[in-house]
Structure 1
Amino acid sequence: MPTPESVPTVDPRLAHAMSRPLHGDSLPRRTARSLRKLTASAAQEVADESGLARDLQQPVTTGRVIAVTSIRGGVGKTTTSALLTRTFNHYRHDPVLALDTDAALGTLPVRLGAESVRWSCSDLAQLITPSMQLTDVTGYLVPVADGGWLLPAGHGRLSAPLDMQTYRTVTLALRRYFAVTVVDCECLPGEVARTAMDTAHARVVVAPMTAEGVNGTRTVLDWLAQLPHAALATTVVALVSNSPDPVLDPRVAASHLRETGVTVVPLPYDRHLAGGGPIRPAQLGQTTRRAATRLAAEALVRAVRTR
């Protein structure tokens, strides 16, 4: 197979026009947090973070696949996938893979800071063999700046949707090389998204903090409850605020989703994430960083429990 051309993830003319990314927390909030570190509550925060770190660093006997999806686009699915990938890369010392299956100009490469893409899922499905070593496989992947690897869905252009057979071939082949694979799925009810949700070791459903978003997500959870292998028990909901002033009461929204038995992790509005572009962990708000860590830990704990 001929080697594809390397394609920039962002047009260079636009890349030069991007402004400096904002910090997730405003300066007054960061100052107030520094003062709170002098209080006794800081010790409890450290203890909580240590517990999450243990969950994130637990060993896995076989590669675990965590599928991320939502009921529609534009709600934070890819951003959540990138946050999970960044978090696993930070805490784990074994290989982590971000797998993009949304060929409709998905933005996962941009969010993970990839400057260009070359090989796609479809390309690798035709090339990968059982005799390959990790070093052979990573030659077809995009290295992520803070560790880990990325396999894009396409070549940075509008591509045909990924088919179910290609998805199955790639995920089954790559699982033996990577301890954790985060799959950024297409939106439900797409065929690959349904397959990924059905076959993954754990699932993250991204719900926007709106009445219709929470209502639609509840429908997805009811569908997962009907799957024959207790899929709901290995599902976590990321309740995402895409506005600093949500119109829906977060407590009511979370309570409505928890009625199905799932764990709900709120992801707050963050100025850095709202700006688009590459996610820089140091620029995230403290609450966002803590929420992303908890979400990753909750997902991995469930993935490890799955046989």
Structure 2
Amino acid sequence: MPNGDNWQGDVLRDLRGASGPPAAGTGGSSSPVPQAQPAPPASPTPPTATQASGTERISVPTPPPAPARTPTPTQIPTPPRPRRPSAPDSRAVVDGALSGTARRPQRGEPVAVRVTRAVRRIVSSSAAREVAELTRTAEALQQPVTTGRQIAVTSIRGGAGKTTVAALLGTAYAHYRQDPVLLVEADPALGSLPLRLGAETLRWTTADLADIVEPQMSLLDVTGYLVQLPENAWLLPGSQGQIGAMLDTSAYERVMVALRRYFGVTVVDCETLPAEVARVALSASQARVLAAPATLDGVTSTYAVLQWMQGLPRHMIDGTVVVLSSTVARPGIDVEAAAEKLRSTGAGVHVLPYDRHLAAGGVLRTELLARPTRLAAARLAAEVFQLSQKRR
């Protein structure tokens, strides 16, 4: 082997990681040079800084320390999600012992009156006029909306027919409109809207939904918390019938703002004035209905409220309709003269005629209403809806 061949030294230098001169006895000598043995296989323990190899001690670089382990996503603690209110138990609207006391509902008018009216319609031209009026009413009720319309129904005192009027409006909108209709009970202490609408059980209330409804929820999610009614309507009860139940204005406002985008029309059965929630509902709604009994004291108190409303912004009185409900077959006042006096304030006035089915209370069944009552309810619903469309 020629003296200039020094490849073994180069190998040793590579193993040492050095660039210095060759080891002693390797350069310019023909004597055999001990060759480095192959490195032993890696052991599970970390290698030392130096390892023996034949007659030479070969330095082995110490491996760098292993990088610190980062926690996996499952190891990173996640903040707890806010807990929703626990689901309340369902409660019957009418106690079982009381439900058996109700008599069979009767029609709004006697048979003789119905027969006489049918004969008159046959022999006169009133039937054609009636059909034309119903067609115009249906067209007005079916107008599309860009945002949900909210209609508040209230009264000066209890027993004025407020809940009955709210139920009539809600069922009329559900019958004529294609978009969903919502009825909200904002009278938790003394409200009877679930009973009037035929609901059997109650669960979630207005106060409950104030902490549940979120912007990303779908209509199907929302209606899961509501009571489904016939046709295209849903009910949100104010309470489960507890004595002394309360509803604060902040909870009411949160619910109404959150639900507005899901329903084309919302009818709110408010507390009697001057309750705080009723005043908030009247100011926030696009149209207002003031129920009053067709009695002297009912008309007098309603007239005083309308005079007070004249001092408010003009849209308040312009968007208000008074409903005079006759609770007896022969009222003690001239209803038409009283209606004209109330109209002089700038509010609209509708007269709801006496109806035996409505006067008996209980579940409202539209097929049992007298024909004049159905026509009056449809006209009222159309006018109130038109007023709500004027205010954006």
Please give the range of the TM-score, normalised by the shorter of the 2 chains. over 0.9
Equivalent-residue separation in structure 1 for 2:360 and 2:296 (angstroms): 24
Cα distance in 1 for partners of 2:242, 2:99 equals 17
Aligned positions of 1:221-260 closer than 5 A = 221-228=306-313, 230-260=315-345
> Match of 1:241, as an amino acid?
S
2:144 aligned counterpart, secondary structure? coil
Give, in whole Å, the separation in 1 of the partners of 2:282 and 2:186: 12
Q: Is the 8 A contact 2:150 2:285 kept in 1?
A: yes
> Identical aligned pairs, as a percentage?
51
Aligned to 1:262: 347
Is residue 3 of structure 1 aligned with residue 116 of structure 2? no
Bigger proportion of residues as helix: 1
Alignment of 1:144-159 (within 5 A): 144-159=229-244
* CA distance in structure 2 between the partners assigned to 1:79 and 1:189 by the alignment: 20
Q: Determine helix, strand or coil for the equivalent of 1:230.
A: helix
- The answer to whether 1:112 aligns with 2:189 is no
The equivalent position to 1:22 in structure 2, one of 102, 106, 113, is 106
Q: Which residue of 2 aligns with 1:305?
A: 390
Q: 2:179: which partner in 1?
A: 94
Distance 1:162 1:257 in 2: 31
The C-alpha deviation readout for 1:119-165, integer Å capped at 9, x for no partner, is: 00000001111111100000000011233000000112224321111
Long gaps (5+) in structure 1 = none
Alignment of 1:207-218 (within 5 A): 207-218=292-303
Equivalence for 2:373: 288
Cα distance in structure 2, aligned partners of 1:62 and 1:74:
33
Q: Is 122-131 or 146-155 further displaced after alignment? A: 146-155
The separation in 2 between residues aligned to 1:304 and 1:24, in whole angstroms, is 32
Indicate how the Cα distance of structure 1 residues 229 and 40 shifts in structure 2: closer, same or farther if over 3 A, else same.
Answer: closer
Amino acid corresponding to residue 384 of structure 2 in structure 1: A
Does 63-72 or 236-245 show the bigger shift? 236-245
| Structure 1 partner of 2:228 | 143
**For residues 153 and 175 of structure 2, what CA distance do their matches in structure 1 show?**
19
Cα distance between partner residues in 2 of 1:151 and 1:174: 11
Measured in 2, the distance between the counterparts of 1:16 and 1:211 equals: 36
Residue 184 in structure 1 maps to residue 278 in structure 2: no
Aligned to 1:68: 153
Q: Is the 8 A contact 2:178 2:232 kept in 1?
A: no
Amino acid at match of 2:193: L
Q: Could you say which residue in structure 2 is the equivalent of 1:42?
A: 127
Q: Which runs of 4+ in 1 moved over 6 A?
A: none
Q: Secondary structure of the equivalent of 1:48?
A: helix
Count of aligned positions? 307
Which AA in structure 2 matches 1:15? S
What is the DSSP-based 3-state SS (H/G/I as helix, E as strand, rest coil) of the residue aligned with 2:210? helix
Tell me which amino acid in the other structure corresponds to 2:194: P
Using structure 2 for the length normalisation, give the TM-score.
0.77
State the partner residue of 2:170. 85
Q: 1:232: how far off?
A: 0.8
Larger Rg: 2
Deviation at 1:218, TM superposition (A): 1.3
Gaps of 5+ in 2: 1-84
Give yes or no for the alignment of 1:277 onto 2:351: no
2:305 match: secondary structure: helix
CA distance in 2, matches of 1:281, 1:27: 17
1:262, 1:101 → 2: CA distance? 23
* Partners of 1:268 and 1:288 within 8 A in 2: yes
In structure 2, C-alpha distance between the alignment counterparts of 1:106 and 1:180, rounded to whole Å:
20
Measured after TM superposition, the shift of residue 36 of structure 1 is 2.1
Shift of 1:195: 0.8
RMSD of aligned C-alpha atoms? 1.0
Match of 2:139 in 1: 54
On the 8 A contact 1:198/1:227 being kept in 2, the answer is no
